[in-house]
Structure formats: C-alpha cells, structure tokens
Amino acid sequence: MLSEKIRMSLLVAMTVMLAGCGATDGPGNETEGASRASAPAGWPSSLNAVGDGFPTPGAPCRIVGESEATVNLLDDSATLVGCPSEADAAKLGGKIMTNVDGITLVSVPRNAGLQSPVGDDQSDAKVAGTDYNATAEVRCTGYRKHPPGSCPAGVKRNGEGGMTIVEIKWPAGDSRTLFFDKGGKLVTADTSQADGSAAFPPKGMKQGDVTIVTIGPERYEIPDVFVLGD
C-alpha cells in the first residue's frame, strides 16, 4: 500500500513539472518570439517600413506604409519616409512631420525621389510628356464596385528605394499605386481608410508572366514586362 502511494506521488510531481515547462514554451510565447524575429532590426513595430532604403537601396531611411501611427500623415502626392535621425530626414528635402518611437517621419514629394540618373545607359527613357518609363492599359476590376475592364497605367522604374511604382487610373479620376521591388515582386500599395482599402492587405500572386494583385475586392493584372522593362 505504501509503495502505491509513493508511485502516485511521483506521477503527480512529474505532471506538475511538465505543466511548468508548457507554461514557458507554450504557443503564446512562440508567437511572441516569431513576431520579434520578423520585425526589422532597429525599427519599431508601430511603423510599417518597406523597401531596403530611401532614396537609394542601402540608405538609412525607409518608405513607411499606413498604420495606426501614420494614418493621418499620408498624402497622395507625397511619400512618407522614416529616418533614424532628424539629420537624415532633413537631407531628403521634404516636410518633417513628427517623431514616432525614435524614427523621424518626413513627407517627400513623389517626384523628389524619381529623378532619372544622368546618362541613357542608367535609366529607362520616358514616355513623351510624362514622368513614366512606359504606359499601358491593364486589366482591372472592383474599385468602388467598378465592373471588369481596363485602366490606364503608368510605370516609374528604379525609383523610390530602388522600387518600381505602378500608378493605375480609374475612370472616376481616382487612382491606386502599387509598389514592386527590383525583382518584380509586389511590396505594398497606397491603401487608405478613406476608400476602405486599408482593411485589406495587398496580395500579389504570379500567374505565368503576370502578377495578379488583389486588395479586397480590387483586382489588377500587371505584366512582368511592364514592371521590369524589356
């Protein structure tokens, strides 16, 4: 009888020890660890930083997307950029907005980061009378319940932070801007609270030589050659 009690006591003790280990390495802590690992080094989680530098790859500043901290700072005619110091922000020539968790935010006019380098071998030619390297009609649907059709689009290659910008115009005069990295992969889009698009994360899916971009009900078909050039 005594040995049975001892055996039961050992089982209870082992159960308590295992429960303690579970509390340390449980799902909640794994999620927190994954979140820390995915956050860009040196950048606060309150800012949605994208790209690998602004105005050129490797620069200390980065393009900043929409988040709770920046929703009232975004402007359709400018790019919101975050810099680790006010001195770096001042070099961009834009309007310094505020400081969020140690990052200085500056609003830079769109054309400021899109000047073509000197020399024909360093830059795509521009379509006459525009700032675009190419223009085209792309398949589009879903913006404000717009039926399937085509929308005029223009592309600015090797621009802000080394990224390519595709600007799509809707018949009503509204527009949507898509950002691609130098490899032609979708990075983000200029979603906003005003048109409800901020509730949907931009997604890009490859189908052959076309990237299908969806933002909630919106859908765009962007050919690789349009983004990357010949």
Binning the chain into helix, strand and coil, the percentages to the nearest 5 are 25, 35, 40
H-state helical runs in the chain: 2-24, 27-38, 86-90, 224-228
**Which of 11-20, 24-33, 196-205 comes out lowest in average pLDDT?**
24-33
Q: b/e map of 121-157 (b: 16 or more CB within 10 Å)?
A: eeebeeeeeebbbbebebebbebeebeeeebebbbbb
H-state helical runs in 25-128: 27-38, 86-90
Q: Using an 8 Å Cβ cutoff, are 230 and 124 in contact?
A: no
Average pLDDT over residues 36-50: 66
Average pLDDT, the chain: 75
Indicate whether 111 pLDDT > 80: no
Q: What is the pLDDT of residues 155-187, one digit of tens each?
A: 998 876 778 999 998 877 788 999 999 889 999
Give the pLDDT score at 227.
Answer: 93
Phi first, then psi: give them for residue 56, nearest 5 degrees: -130, 155
How many CB atoms lie under 10 A from the CB of residue 221? 15
List residues bridging with 49 in a β-sheet. 64
Q: Using an 8 Å Cβ cutoff, are 227 and 184 in contact?
A: yes
List residues bridging with 81 in a β-sheet. 63, 106
Average pLDDT over residues 207-230: 91
Indicate whether 92 pLDDT > 90: no
